[in-house]
Chain A
């Protein structure tokens, strides 16, 4: 069995095949004349081109062209000529007839093409193709104003071409790439554009586009500019969709669909996507159109390289080239088009599955390498020839070309006003603030500021007076110890104390509250020592407590000193020390409510009320007397206020310091206090009433001398202050 070699794809087919199983092309016996082989066709093509050095792919393309020409020639036979009515009533017009005749083979060829291929070029196309075309064109009819202009421009161009063809015999076919590519869903105008495209395919080696596609090195400028043509309205996403190769059955090289697609793309009037177009930076449509128009010449320069044989024909010289048409057409369809939003309104992949319809019968295959090379995904963005005007020069996008120009927000906002943290005040306010600061400042600071150093005279005066006092004390104690002038009259409050102690019963204990500090223990000893001796002499049991921490301890010392003078008194059996009573006035108040609860234990944490001295005492009333030994007037007042009302006739005797006596004297006058013994004078008086020598009388002489000395110092100081008044600003 002999095989038929496909003249297009050179692949073997069975002998009975009329079309190539691979590319669906007509085999030799169907295309060429009987007895003419592919080699003959190639040789004929070589004669036409006058060059045998063309590459193999070009030869193959031209071979196919020759086959098509032969088919055209065969279709131009009188039998195949259409009636005159079908030619528009121009039977007498030879160029028109030729033109009509040139279209007839296409129709014949189209009739031989598969249905899906016919649908691509003739209206009404199949639904899938229509949708694909819609995808590639502007979907909204109202945005087709530029397309209308394009059609009018196309029609005028055709008229010019016709006029030129009439002037130059014989009429030549239109140059293929001179027509701006327009795609769209409008079937009528699509048919108008597809027809001349197919016409141009007769003269233009459509396979040149294949070779161009196969040629990997397409000039970047051309690819970019072609992407800016109206036919490439769809964005990179659409291109990616069309050539993704995953959603559609793969198309092999030489497939009619591919061929038609490539022809259309090459001729510039194709409606299929253009694969090699790199992604174009987003720009304003008007800018893009303005840049496309003057660069059409460059777009076609590389194509004319393959059209040299046809360019030598005289009838083609008469026709304006595509580039010339582009440059000489001031009314280019895109120049007057207002920028529209067609680019934004292109529907996105929702039309993706519609493109599968024409390829249902195509055997799925691997996408060829050359087709993969066309995939926009893998295309590398070429350096843009757009002038650097669109390059962002500042901001975070500095150096990036084609960036969208955003709203100039910087100009809409002003720099915020700067506020300093420095308070702006007037002079008057600052003066007042300074005055307030001086008022609030520490007095010591102001004093130090005004008096940087203490006067030397005052310092030495204080030292001299202190030494004088010490010398007097030591002189009296050394020179005349015990020498004193004792008072003859006794204070009545002290005499009452002596009387009360004498009247106390020996079976009722006397509660002694020792509330004095250690610093005044000497004076308190002078005042209380004689009374304590008196109590011991009367063998009166004693109970001691204190509302400060050291009072009971100091009282123990006093009792020990008194016991040394009264040896008959057994302090171990006659004295109970309750120790510290916490709470001050609250503790005193607790004594009045429940004495045994307030004082549960003695100082040694022993049950105090089991002691024989106080075992019969249940309240303050059971006491013989309450003796408060204090150096503080307030403490004495607390005892008077809190405890005295609860005594119910039990004598309250105050043994106080000389400094507290004046403040407690009214309570004696009011009768709240039964007796008062205050200071060294009161102790000395008590000793005199007892007729026992004691420390108070012994030191009373020294005390008197010191009082006289102080009085003398006061007198001298007063006289000096009278003679020499104090300096201004100083106190006394």
Chain B
């Protein structure tokens, strides 16, 4: 859960093109910035690479979810068919595992799919309807439309308001704005 804080969240620069953003992000990362993030209207893989975000845990969550679905359905079927309610269907064995594979297969996909979606949201910290960046006057009209943002956050040890603003200005953005909590 985000802790309510006072003061400055960070400084955000608005860029006109994705290339400008990627260049600025690369330079900032090389200069030692770590508490930073880019905001774009569509996925810009190069920007994620530039800020050192290479791997994520969504595949792991999905695999775990899928295996849980597989085990849950297969053991449910086995328990029902052999112990809870054994039925003689045309003389077939009660533990007829090939037939059980189909619902187990479907549940593998069901659980893996739900884990992928909800795992992604959880790792992203969503839903969170409030975020300090929404306070920046130009953020909401641009970040989901046609502008590209680089935010250097106050939690970074290198952060100092006026210096950071000057630093971001040097990349030639449209504007640089302070963001408050």
Chains A and B bind each other: no
